[in-house]
Chains A and B, each alone.
Chain A
């Protein structure tokens, strides 16, 4: 059960609409990017950064912080919007996405962006790194959680399952993973490209606590995270993965649920249309644009 009341949930839903708007603006002003898989994870990012993670945006390298490894690193734009909104860096950095010399590259880079805890981009690697981070905490008997988001297409990678064995064997229950199950990958529907069959059963068979929840339902996701946190006892208890049933491109009328939205072109008119549909104001103002 989630401990959140209706007002808290409504506030998170409002924040998620804002972050979706910001992500669409961020990519839209460049004109091309990984919009689909960015929008599908906005709700979990908002829930983590606005409720669960112990962080200090003024001190991004604080040793005791909770950490997030965005293993599906191409969804960086959604995380950048979340971090900018939290105050890790100025909002106008979002206008530099993927431009030469930017601190916000397409895929997450710990050396460039305040608040990015691990470099990712080659699919399958982030969960291993997250396990290493969780292990470092476990060895030191330090508190805190390491969160990791992988993709459904990414779950085709063998390395994911190497880590599935490892994290379970080491009982890294301070590792809480999410799989963004939007059902699509670059070449089509996941069930057509590489059917992962019963994904919850797979993770359970690898020794994890696993459950599937609606990845756009804050109460359901919150309850699953609360359960994982309550259970955590590194070295004793198994790690948790929460499979998030999501919609790729969620919130962008021009591409929601379309299999072609993995990495696509779109224009300012479509950005404006999306902001109206989301019922959020533009963050990227003419003043901000002129300052660039």
Chain B
């Protein structure tokens, strides 16, 4: 996808546009400015780009103080550190304090690739999902990322955004409109519904739907975009088959699969569910994204197989 813009460039360009429009945005980094690509932002707006050094607790603490001082902070670091390392700061200083902190966790799941298990967030969404009123999004492509970043800047309250840094295949036209908490139906089919989250899984789900179609199985594909608030209405209304496969680049415990399981148990108890995601007993590992997707059974064939099993 050499012709596609990198996702981090989209993130940074969107933030720069927002500043130009008068939004009081401050970008914060913990010595990963070059990784997130916010060096471009820092060059243009040096007074609005803050590097706290390798200090994630302080990253989120300072962001919280900036928010209490009226700024709109976007703080980014690898997703593993944004969640595991700065969790109490994000929970208390930002969320419990009802502030307006946007926390960005980069390199979701297997996209951490060569950084390996230490850096591979398979639990960030689970940790974030239990924080009251926190909005959580994982936009899959450039257009949705730009829109979600803009929504985060324009909506008062804390957000956690999962950001793949590298380029992603285009799913939406540039002028597609997005709303907070609204999922997108990418394909409609009567036999099974694939609910996917994030770049890796939305694309694998679309591939799985194409291969299932060749076998005569018609799949609906939903891009959840928002883990919280989850678009329950769109998911239920577009699951006429009563069969759902959730697809997440994350451990299956506690995030998208769990959220849909809760939804089904409480509001649609007749439906059947299969969860594609990293098994509950596994930590991350090193490898290429492709090797890791295979290792953790996140690929289109794994999704298609789960869908077929639900058909039996």
Contacts and interface: CB of A to CB of B under 8 A. Distances in A.
A111 B97 contact: yes
Contacts of B65: 69, 118, 128-136
A127 B55 CA distance: 14
B61 A132 contact: yes
A128 B66 contact: no
B68 A131 contact: no
Interface string A106-120: 000111000001110
A121 B61 CA distance: 13
Interface in B46-105: 47-48, 50, 52-53, 55, 57-58, 60-71, 73, 88-89, 92-93, 96-98
A129 B71 contact: no
B106 to A, nearest CB: 20
A118 B61 contact: no
A132 B55 contact: no
Given A121-B92, A128-B57, A159-B61, A139 B48 contact: yes
Given A139-B26, A139-B48, A165-B55, A118 B62 contact: no
B97 A132 contact: no
Contacts of A133: 65-66, 68-69
B11 to A, nearest CB: 21
Given A129-B65, A129-B68, A135 B58 contact: no
A63 interface: yes
B69 A132 contact: yes
Contacts of A111: 97-98
Contacts of B60: 128
B129 to A, nearest CB: 20
Contacts of A121: 92
A264 B58 CA distance: 32
B98 A131 contact: no
B60 to A, nearest CB: 8
B89 A132 contact: no
A122 B97 CA distance: 12
Interface in B177-215: none
Q: Is the interface of A mostly helix, strand, loop or mixed?
A: helix
A266 B204 CA distance: 64
A118 B93 CA distance: 8
A134 B71 CA distance: 12
Contacts of A169: 53
- Scoring B63, B65, B71 by chain A CB atoms within 10 A of each residue's CB, the highest score goes to B65
Contacts of B50: 135, 170
Interface string A149-189: 00000000011001101100110000000000000000000
A135 B26 CA distance: 11
A50 interface: no
A37 interface: no
Given A119-B97, A136-B66, A139-B47, A129 B57 contact: no
Contact of A125 (B26, B61, B69, B73): B61
A138 B66 CA distance: 11
A86 interface: no
- Scoring A109, A131, A132, A158 by chain B CB atoms within 10 A of each residue's CB, the highest score goes to A132
B92 A124 contact: no
- Scoring A63, A130, A131, A159 by chain B CB atoms within 10 A of each residue's CB, the highest score goes to A159
Nearest to B50: A135
Nearest to A118: B68
A118 B47 contact: no
A137 interface: yes
Nearest to A148: B65
A117 B99 CA distance: 12
Interface string B110-138: 00000000000000000000000000000
A63 B58 contact: no
Nearest to B56: A162
Contacts of A135: 50, 62, 65-66, 69
Nearest to B69: A136
B71 A139 contact: yes
Contact of B62 (A63, A109, A128, A158): A128
Contact of B63 (A63, A110, A132, A163): A132
A164 B53 CA distance: 12
7 contacts: A122-B88, A125-B64, A129-B61, A135-B69, A136-B65, A136-B70, A166-B53
Interface of A: 63, 69, 109-111, 117-119, 121-122, 124-125, 127-137, 139, 158-159, 162-163, 165-166, 169-170
8 closest cross-chain pairs (CB), A and B:
A132-B65, A128-B61, A136-B69, A119-B97, A162-B58, A129-B65, A162-B55, A132-B62
Interface of B: 26, 47-48, 50, 52-53, 55, 57-58, 60-71, 73, 88-89, 92-93, 96-98
